[in-house]
Structures are given as C-alpha cells and as structure tokens.
Amino acid sequence: MNSLWLISLVNKNDMIKHQKSDLSESMDYVIKYIKDVMLKFFLDVATVIYYLKSVIKNLVSSKFETSEFLKQCYQIGNKSVGLISITGLIVGLVLTIQSRPPLVEFGAVGMLPGMVAVSIIREMGPVITALLCAGKIGSGMGAELGSMRVSEQIDAMEVSNTNPMNFLIVPRVIAATIMIPILTLYADAIGIFGSWLGANIKDDISLYLFFNQAFGQVEFIDIIPAVIKSFFFGAVIGLVGCYKGFNAGRGTESVGIAANSAVVTASLLLIIVDLIAVQITDLL
Amino acid sequence: MGAHSKNIVIEIQGLTKSFKDLSVLEGIDLKLYEKENLVVLGKSGSGKSVLIKCIVSLIKHDEGSIKVEDIELTNINEDDLMEVRKNIGFLFQGGALYDSMTVRENLAFPLTRLKEKLTVDDINQKIESILEDVGLPDAIDKRPSELSGGMKKRIGLARTLIVNPKILLYDEPTTGLDPITSNEISDLINETKDKFKTTSIIITHDINCVKIVADRIVMIKDGKIYKEGILEEFMNDKDPYIKSFFK
C-alpha cells in the first residue's frame, strides 16, 4: 500500500514537473514571438525613417512630378471622401448620444456641443481619418506599387531613364502628407454635423446655434496641434505604403503581403505618433 | 563570319552573379556584334534573364566586366548609366506596360523623358507611326488590361522602339503566346532589325523563335556558356543536352 502511494506521488510529481516545463516552454515561445514581432516592427520603423531620407533627397534634387502629384491628390481625396463622410457622421452622432446622459445628470447638457467639438477636433477626427486612410490609401499604395514591382513596371521605368523614387514615391508621399490634413478638417466638420443630428434626437437645437456653441468652446490651440499631427499622419501613411509596395518581393504573394503589412505598420506607427503628439501638446 | 568582322557592341568578360548562396552566373564571356540577332538559349532558371538585366544594371553583377559600346558598367555612376541606357531598349517578358496609363500614355512616357524637346504633335506623330509599325494602330487609346498577351508584347516593343535604341534586349519575347502569335512576334523581331538597324540579344527557350530570329546562338547551362555557334551547328550537334532542345 505504502509503495503504491509512493509510486502515485512520484507520478504526480512527474506530471507537475512536466506541466511546469510545458508551461515554461509555452511562455518562452510567447516571449520569443513578442520579441520577434517587436523587433520586426522597430526594424520597419528604422527602415522607413531611413527611406524618408531618400524621399527628401529626391524631392530636393530632382524635378518634381507635378502632374503625378495632382493625380495622387485626386486619387487620395476621391477614394476616401465617401468613407470619411459616413464614418465622421456616425462618430459625431454616437459621441453625442453616448455623452448626453451623464451631462444631463450633472445639468451640463449645454456643454455638449463644445465638448463633442473639442474631442472631435483634437483627437477623434485626426486619428479616425488617419486610421481609415491607412487602411484605404496605405494598402492601396502597397498593393499598386507591389504589383508594379512584380510585373516589372518599376524595372521598365528605370530602363526608360526615369527614377522610380522620383516618379512614384515622392508624389505619393507629398500627396498623402497634404491630403490627410484636408480630409481631417473635412471629417471634423462632418463629425460636428453628425453631433448636431445626434443632439436633435432628444433636443431641438438649430444648426447655427449648435455650431455657435461648439466653436465657442474651441480654441486656436485645439486646432493647430491637430492639423500639425495630421501632416505627420499623412507622411507616415504615404511613406509606409510606398516603402512596403516598392520593396515587395517578386512573387504575386508579395503584393498581398505588402498591402497587409502597410496597413499594420502604418496603423501602429500612427498610434505611436499620436501618443508623442499628445505628450508634446500637453507640454505647451 | 560576317558578324565577327563587325564592331563589338557589348562585351562581357568573366561575369558572375549570385543570390545569397545560389550561384546563377559563373564566369560568362560574351560578345555581341553590330546588327546581329544573338539568341541566348537555356532552360528556365539558367540565368538568361539575369544576364540581360546585368547588361542594363537592373541587377548589379558580382564580378567581371560588362562593356556597352566601350563603356564599362562596373561601378558606373548614375549619370553615365543613364547615357548608356538611352541606347538600350528592353522588352520585358510580360510587356511591363504601365497599368494606370493608356497605350498612348505608355508610348509617350519614354519619349517625354528621353527626348524632352519634342512637341505634343511630334509625340503624337511618333506614337501613331510606331503603332503602325507593330501593326496595332487601333489600340492607341486602350488600356493594358484590354490587350491580349501578344498585343501587350507588341506595344511593349513599340514603347522600346519609339526612342530609337541601337541595342534591343528581348526577355522571352514569345513565352506564353500561341504558336501563330509567337511566329508573328518572331517575324516582328526580324522586321525591327531590318527597319531600325538594331543589334539584339534575344533570351528564349522557344526553338521556333530561335529558328526564325537567330544569327548566332549562345547556350547557357548551369551559369556557364555551354556552346556558341550558328543554328546549323546546334541542329547537327550530337550532344544529348543540345539535342534535347532541338529534337
């Protein structure tokens, strides 16, 4: 009996040991995975920053491709305006509907237009516009340039004595840098309009009065940092999308990978840039 | 014999190229004579395309020397490389037409970049004329997605020829085409040579194309030159590897 008990105890100890080693192996695997992902992301960030140097060098030293730049501006604006309109409207509407009950509780419902306007202009407008554009424009750039790489169109451009960096990358990056702030301002306006619609579900307030109250609370310091960070958001989207597409591999599979990693890297970078921008604004 | 008495246009010596651990070219020596069609023959993956991409510096070679009209391409600077590339036309395997542009814009692209002094009328006239030459005058306002494989290759050739290059590099011009279109493209290569007095390297493994266009043939195997000669020499060769191509 004693010996049986001893055997079962040894087996139990073995099992616990085994389970412990399994757990530690799994933990090691998870830690290694996180390490690899982080390392890959930071390597991507470093390469994109290095890539920025080439873009600036080409922008300064080569002839600017104005027609390609205007074409890209049109593409970015035209592609995104519908999506941004719908999203901006819904964000404004939802934000108002969600914020109203606590404000009613404190008897501060009159502050609703200003509060919503400030949160849209400072944060929601720029970040949501940037994330939407990272998905739509960043992936589009990654896929387009990736497929140009795969089908040798970029090589054909080089052989035609055209610097692909100057023709393809610089206009796209500059167009994204300029168009994202414009789209952000548009999203802000639509968002505040959506907020007015939301306010009118329970209350009755004219558009003029609502905008008057909203912009009565908005200060210059709310708008300028948001616009400035939108420029950075645009640059990030353009740079990452172009970098991923331009450096895609040779197989057709690479096009999908380029588009996908353009969105993932750009979205993560946008959040980091936003965090830095908020810290800097806070210091002002 | 005729070819060898002519000027050397491209001279390659001891060319090597590896991708990581994979050695693709292992000491290629090659001469291209003026106004000849040189066919580079070999099975897929033998390094044929890498060879012509090294000639236009799309791929940088590891060792050896490449001279195009006596200009050494090893360590050449960007401006000099641009000058060399002005004289070289490259027809890519799939045509490499710019998807976002119409045929007219595709053809105008190299013209506006290489011949900056041309007026819009001159450009349009050249486009119409070159489309006549390749037999596709009606495709002028079409997009690449509306063209068949053979039409894409013709337009690709038109885009290459529109800037009057002295040297043409064809990367598998008949791959993926039906036999009739393939023969038409091969005939077009010969017509191009006669009309534009070009010197060409044609990369292919299509024996029908070889029979139509080749003035001289170089066969590549395992990154090295396996045999060099004229078509008859290859046709009569008893070597099993060569016979497997020509049977």
Show the beta-strand stretches assigned E in A73-116: none
Distances in Å between the alpha carbon of B35 and those of A236, B2, B38, B56?
50, 10, 9, 18
Per-residue pLDDT, B136: 87
What span, in angstroms and rounded, lies between the C-alpha atoms of B76 and B35? 25
A275 vs A127: CA distance, rounded Å = 11
Average pLDDT over residues B187-193: 89
Chain B residue numbers with beta carbons less than 8 Å from the beta carbon of A153 are 96-99
Alpha-carbon distance A100 to A62, whole Å?
54
- Mean pLDDT confidence for B143-158: 90
**B2: pLDDT strictly greater than 50:** no
Output the DSSP codes for chain B: -TGGGSPEEEEEEEEEEEETTEEEEEEEEEEEETT-EEEEE--TTSSHHHHHHHHTTSS--SEEEEEETTEE-TT--HHHHHHHHTTEEEE-TT----TTS-HHHHHHHHHHHH-TT--HHHHHHHHHHHHHHTT-GGGTT--GGGS-HHHHHHHHHHHHHTT--SEEEEESTTTT--HHHHHHHHHHHHHHHHHH--EEEEEE--HHHHHHH-SEEEEEETTEEEEEE-HHHHHT---HHHHHHH-
Per the CB < 8 A criterion, the answer to whether B172 and B49 are in contact is yes
Q: Which of A63, A70, A159 to mutate to test the interface with B (most CBs of B within 10 A)?
A: A159
Share of chain B above pLDDT 70, in %: 97
- Angle, in degrees to the nearest 10, between helices A112-119 and A170-202: 160
Decide: residue A123, CB within 10 A, 0-12 exposed, 13-18 middle, 19+ buried: middle
Please report which confidence band the pLDDT of residue B114 belongs to, taking 50, 70 and 90 as the band edges. confident
For residue A152, give how far its alpha carbon lies from the nearest alpha carbon of chain B (Å). Answer: 5
Q: What are residue B218's DSSP bridge partners?
A: B40, B228
Residue of higher predicted confidence among B165 and A22 = B165
- How does DSSP assign A2-38, residue by residue? HHHHHHHHHHHHHHHHHHHHHHHHHHHHHHHHHHHHH
For residues B231 and B214, the answer to whether their CB atoms sit within 8 Å is yes
pLDDT at A3: 61
What is the pLDDT, as a whole number, of residue A222?
87
Q: Say which residues have a Cβ less than 8 Å from residue B36's Cβ, sequence separation at least 6.
A: B3, B6, B199, B200, B215, B216
Residues of A in contact with B109 (CB under 8 A): 160, 162
Residue B1 confidence class, pLDDT cut points 50, 70, 90: very low
State the pLDDT confidence band at B245, using cuts at 50, 70 and 90.
confident
What is the overall mean pLDDT for chain B?
89
**In the prediction, which pLDDT does B118 show?**
82
Residues of B with Cβ-Cβ distance to A159 under 8 angstroms: 56, 58, 85, 88-90
Question: Chain B residue with minimal CA distance to A71?
Answer: B100
Quote the pLDDT of residue B115: 67
Residues of chain A neighbouring B94 (CB-CB closer than 8 A): 151-152
pLDDT at B108 over 60: yes
Q: Which residues of B touch A156 (CB under 8 A)?
A: 90, 92, 96, 98, 159
Per-residue model confidence as pLDDT tens digits over B50-86: 999 999 999 999 999 999 998 999 888 888 998 899 8
Instruction: Name the one residue in this structure whose structure tokens are 């079409």.
Output: B142
Asked whether the beta carbons of A151 and B94 are under 8 A apart, the reply is: yes
β-sheet bridge partners, residue B89: B168
Q: What is the SS3 assignment for A203?
A: coil
Residue B123 backbone phi and psi in degrees, to 5: -65, -45
Predicted confidence band at B3 (pLDDT cuts at 50, 70, 90)?
A: very low
Instruction: Tell me the mean pLDDT in the region B74-102.
Output: 90
The rounded distance, in Å, linking the Cα atoms of B73 and B51 is 13
Inter-chain residue contact B110 with A155, CB threshold 8 Å: no
Question: Residues of B near A (CB-CB distance < 8 A)?
Answer: 53, 56, 58, 82, 85-86, 88-90, 92-94, 96-100, 109-110, 113-114, 159, 163
- Measured distance CA(A102)–CA(A232) in Å, rounded: 35
Supply the ipTM of this predicted assembly: 0.87
pLDDT averaged per 10 residues in sequence order, chain A, 284 residues: 63 71 84 90 86 89 90 92 95 94 88 93 95 94 94 91 91 96 96 94 89 89 92 96 90 90 93 93 81
